[in-house]
Structures are given as structure tokens and as C-alpha cells.
Structure 1
Amino acid sequence: MPETSAWEKASPATGGGQPVPLTPSASLPAASWPPPGSYASPTPPETLTTDFVGKRRAVFWLALKTGALTVLTLGLYRFWMKTRLRRWYWSATRPGGTPLEYVGDPYEKLLGFLIAVVILAFYIGVVNLALMFVSFSLFQQNYMAYAVSFLGVIPLWFYARYRARRYVLARTRWRGVRFGMAPGAWGYVWRALLHWTITLLTLGLLWPRMTFWLEKYRTDRTWFGNVRLNQGGRWTMLYRATWPMFTALLLAVAGLALAEGAGYPEAYVLVLAAWVLAAYGYVYYRVETTRILANHKSASGLTLTARPRPFRILMITVLGHLATAVVLAVPLGLLAFGIMLVQFSQTEIMQDFGELGALVSALPQPLLLAVGVALYFAIFLLWATFTHAWVTLPTWRHYATTLTLDNPAALTQVSQRARDEFHEAEGFAEALDLGAAI
């Protein structure tokens, strides 16, 4: 199947189908890239800034349209929806003025999902049945079977995350050059299980260690063309991102000690403040570790400088979801009213509503049920659409516009890599509900 995408010819991100200068072509030999005159001046700039040209209205209508088609096709169109949305976000992100490309195929995603479903069906139908039999035979109850079955899914969860990241990179290009990721999903699985065990046994004190080493494993197996990325630094540098969490812990301990031990119930305010600070601390840790790790990545002399702001990401997330909830208050009210109509349409309670109650009682029950189901799916559709416009887009834009590439002259050493044939795509991530997001 040819890999050339129509998105090489026009960018949907601006909402106007403007031409996108994607050079060089992936078909060019390695020695011909970058072509002569690819820079505006004989001397390349010292840094390349990243632009984001996506418009809120464009992604809103794209998410609404593709989401509606997904609902109408009972979920089948979601593979096309994800592909179109990724192409939109990728083409809107332009390091050095040149957009990223996403050339993933929805048919790959569909086939991978079906393969994963068959394997998981075998696991659920055969393995779980055997576990249930052993549990009842040895322990006279089924709790042990449920526990072992849950533990058995955890390795698949890590496996799916690695494979999904590998697939996305394999279908991403910049300046016509493919990204890629070396095989290593099962190596990632046992490392993730080991680091999570150590983190839990230390009550979270070694969480930065886990974050660093798992990211290093993924980064050190990532390629841009023929150049391999490297994750530098030490895991201890991530402790600077934990201060809000440790402060929240100290506040909680102090509040409980004063309230329970010293008899000052007013000290529970400190406990409440600790919960608020912990919520901010989680966001701070995610954003700050992303920044620190990005600033220690390199690829044959090319380095990154990331400056995302944790408080900005927190405000985007909180205010975006709050605005979405306010907008959906009316559909939610209608859904609650529809459920009440279905529940009491044939009872004497509807007589209290006069003519409206008599009209509702005369409506067929299947019609009321269909209206309720339609409202239910409409709420999920609108929620996804508004969060794309008010949460995903501004978050993506903030990360993109605060990223610069240093020493871009190192790109002259990059040549094309072979296409990574990835037949099952993100199947396990889709089946385990890890691949629904962008």
C-alpha cells in the first residue's frame, strides 16, 4: 500500500486547505537530503522554533463530524476518526516551519483491533475459565480467580502502551523522514513491572526513578531516520518536580496530627489544602518531568529546549473541563428528564403534569427509550468535541510553542529509514481502551 498521503498536498489545520511545503519526498535517496537550498540562508539558524497553526473552530467541527459518524456506525468509524484527528494535529504542529505528517492507515487500526480482540477473547474465555475452576476447587470462592486474572492483564497493558507508541512513531514524518522505534515491548513489560513493584514497596519515594528509567528505555529505542535519540541526565534530577507532592504530604500529616492528636478540628483545613495541593502536584510532576526529560534528550548533536508551564496546563485542564460541563448542563438535564419520562410514563405520577403528562403517557415506550439513548450518546459526543476545542488543542499548542530545536545543523546527518511494517497497529491499546485518545 503506498504511503504517500493526501495531507502532503494540503493542510487541514488552518481550516482552509493551504499548501504545505513538505520536502524532501520520502522517495528521495538518503544522500539527496537535505536538498540544496533547503534553508533560507547558507548558514542554518542556531535554533528552530515550533509553531502551531491549528484553529479551534476547525478542530471543533472535525471532532463533531467524525464523532457523529462514529456513533452512527456503532463505533466502527472511530479508526477513521482517530486517523483524521491525528493528521490534523500533526499538520498543525510545525517545528522550524515544516509540519509533521501522520500517514497512519485506518485499515491498519481496524485489523489490529480485530486481532487483539481475538487474542483477548481467548484469554477471557479460556484462561479465566480455568482460573475460576482452580479458584473454586482450592478456595471455594472466586475472588482469587478475579485477582489473578487482573494481574494477568497488567503485562498486556504495558505491552500495549509500548506497541502503540511504536506504531505512532512509525507513521510519523518530519521533512519527509520517518520516525521509528526499535522492537522491545516485552523488555518494556518486565522493566515496568519491576519498577512499579519497587515504587509501591517504597511507598512512592522512588517514583522519579521509575519515570526516568522507563522513559530512557523508550527514548533510547527511538529513531529519526538513521539517527537514534538518547535520553541523558540522571533519575535524581526529577526529584525537583516532587516538591508540591511532598509539601501536600507534610500538610496532611500536620493537619491530622493537630485535629486528632491536639484536638483542633479547625486543622482539617490543612488536610483540605493538602488535597488541593496534591492535585496541583500531580499536574506539576507530569509537566515538569516532561520538561526536564525533554531538555536532556539529544540526537546526533540536535538537542531540545522545552519550557511548558505547569500552572498554565492546570488552568487549561480545569477551566476547559469546567466550561464543557457548563455547556452540557442542558443536555444532561434533558437526559435526566428523559430517564424520568421512561421510568414513570405508564404510572399515575404523570397525571400530576396535566396535559403534558397525558401526552407523554400516550407516547410509545420504544420511542421514549430511543430518545433517551440518543441523548446519552449525544452527551458523550459533545463532551469529546468540546474537550478537543477547549482542552486538547490549547494543551497541545502550549507544549508545541514552548519547544525549540537547538543546533539544527545536525539534521544534515539524517537520512531516510526503511518503513516499519506494523500489521497489528495499536490493536491491543484499542482493545484495552488505551488508544482512544490522540
Structure 2
Amino acid sequence: MLDIKKMRMDPDYFKKRLATRGVYPQDVDAIFELDKKRRDLIQQTETLKAKRNEVSKQIAQAKRNKESADDAIADMKQVGQDIKALDDQLNANEEDFHNKMAHLPNMPHEGIPVGKDEAANTELRKVGNIPSFDFEPKAHWDIGEDLGILDFERAAKVSGARFVYYVGLGAQLERAVYNFMLDEHMKEGYTEVLPPYLVNGNAMYGTGQFPKFKQDVYQIEADEHQLTMIPTAEVPLTNYFSNEVIPAEKLPVYVTALTPSFRSEAGSAGKDTRGLIRMHQFNKVEMVKYSKPADSYQELEKMTANAENILKKLGLAYHVITLSTGDMGFSAAETHDIEVWMPQQDIYREISSCSNTEDFQARRAHIQYRDDNGKLQYVHTLNGSGLAVGRTVAAILENYQNEDGSVTVPDVLVPYFHGITKITKDNAVPFNNK
């Protein structure tokens, strides 16, 4: 949520910057008009309430003097009716104002690329060597299906499209990957959390998923109220301190979690219909930080480095890009995406997104701290994938594939893989070999 007080101070600046995020200036003007009307109504109401207090005193005085108070009582009745009418107008105004404010995206940080879409993104760096093969590299879904460790067909039978069974060493590979990630993040000072997988509407609003993106989630009815299956652990992790004041000496706070993520993928028909890239259910290791405002962009760079660390140790080539104003997520002020090399497609694909939301989420979720002067301030919140586990498995299968169809296990995962160094048809799924 943006700060309307700051917006009033320089409306042209806000309109100009929000225009880079696809917000029409007239939509911002409509908010300013509602804000002005709202303040006018409050002033009128307060004036009438002051008058009501004065009339009440007049009635009391008349009664003490045993004088007629009929005129004053009639006056009081009219004032009460006027106050109610203004309150009704104010409530309608507040609802409209709040709804429009809730649909405004975050202000983009100064200096990030301006553009309508991903074409305006800028590359920060390339890391690692792109592998070369003496054979035609296969797609990860073909590798997984040939080995029997990924079963999309049976998952479709049970759940539908965009679901998968990990089987045998496929399941162990997924588990090895996320345990490795969690251990690495804990070395960097993150506290591991196992959060709820179902959250209420307030939590979804706090991180910016609601009200704009309700079509992208799965919801269930529970105990006469609605819960949402988390689209990312960012939601329960960021809301851990909702409606709280964090002691300043505890900042920054680092937390990480492995959770499933559930996404309806509304509007993605025809995109990545095969493989692990775009699923309705997938595991993700998430990183979230709470920071003092002055430190948040340094913390963004650290978080990006934390995600990069995983790819470096796995020996996977990647690049880091800064997203343009038109490609950034709704709540972000600045985002670094990390894209891993996928040999079969011969392109980089997103595997992590690290964002600083500044105080945008903290305002919505009411997360504060006291500064050196004892004044309440909003924290800055950051979030990032560290990494999307299924996409990491896909990258390992493609980058570590061998001509005979086997897959070499990256060295750092061998200790998590019970010493197995290669996935083959002979060891991949034990019940297939009986």
C-alpha cells in the first residue's frame, strides 16, 4: 500500500512513476479526488459533531433553568440526521478509496529500467560455463520419463494436467535439493520455519496477492470462512509479524522455509505445458527478510547472492537480470531475477526472483519498528526464491544428463543422496527392476 500523505506532497511525480507500471494518470487523479472528498467529509462531520456538543450543552442549560428546549432539541435532531448522512457518504467514500489504493502497484525504485515488458530488462551478470554436449541434449521431462523418476501421465490420471509424481530417485533428488538449499541458507543466518500452508484473506492482502490476483489461487471453505492455499511461502513468512512492532535491535530478521506452492496458472494456457517449469503444485524454498529502510537495498543484494550461491555450488550456469517497471511483480520496488541455463531449450529460464518491496507490504500488514527517536516506522520486507525446487531439478536433469540416458548427481548433493553418484535405469525406481 502506498502512502497517501507522500502522494499528496508530489502528485505529478507519483503519476509519472506509476505510469511506468501501467497505471493511467486519470486513475491516480481519481484517488486524489476521493482523498480530497474524504477529508472534506471528515471536516464537515467534525464541525457538526462540535455543533452537536454545543447544542447538548444548550439543552442541559435550558433544563437547569427550567426553560423550553424544544428549538434546541429540534436542532439536535437535525444535526444528528446530517451527521448520519455524512457518515454514510464517508463510509462509501472510504470503501471506494481503499479499493482503488489496494489496486495500485508499488512505486518502482529509482534507476531500474523503464519499459512495458521483459524486453526492457537489463542483464547484470553471467555466471558459469554453459555446457556443451557431444549428443543432442534431451528435455528434462523426457529424461525423467525415460528413467521412470517423473510420471506426468499417472499424475494427470489422479489430479489433472500440470501435476507430477516424483518416483524413486526422482523423489530423493527433489528431497536432496531442498535439504541442501535449507542447509545453505541456515549457514547464511536464516532461521528455518515450517509455516501453515493455508492462510486467511488478511494475509493474502498483506503481501499484495489480494484483491488483484484472486483468480490465481486455490481457495477452500473451512469453519464457515475461506482459506487460501499458499501460492508461495512469502505469504505466511511475511505475515509472521503482521500487526506487530519488531524490536529494532532484532532487525534484520532472516527466515526461510520449504513449502509447497499452489497456483491456478490462470491465463497460462499453452505455456510450458510439458515438464516441471509451470505446475499447479510445486515445492519452493523461500527467503524472507525484515529490514530497516536504510539497509534494505544492501539486503536485496545479499539475498540475491544467497540464491546465486545455490546455483554456483550446483555448478549450473545462470545470469542475473534486473526487471523493468513493466515486468516487475505488483508488490516489488526492485526485482532481480536469476535465470538458469536449460540446454534443451538453449535459453535461460527463471529459477529465482528476489525483490525488495520497501514498506509496501509492511503498510498493508502493519509491521513496524521504533527508530532511534522512539517513533514508529514501517519495516522494509524482502522476499526471494532460494530456489524453486522443481525448476532446479529440471536444470540438473538437463545439465547433468549423459548420452546413455543417465544423470550424474552434482557433487554437493551426493551426501544428501546416500552416496549415489548417478541415476540410471537400473537404480532409479526399485519396483521397476523387480
Q: Tell me the TM-score range normalised by the shorter chain.
A: under 0.3
TM-score of the superposed pair, with normalisation by structure 2: 0.23
| Structure whose CA Rg is larger | 2
Q: Which has the higher helix share?
A: 1
Q: Decide which structure has greater strand share.
A: 2
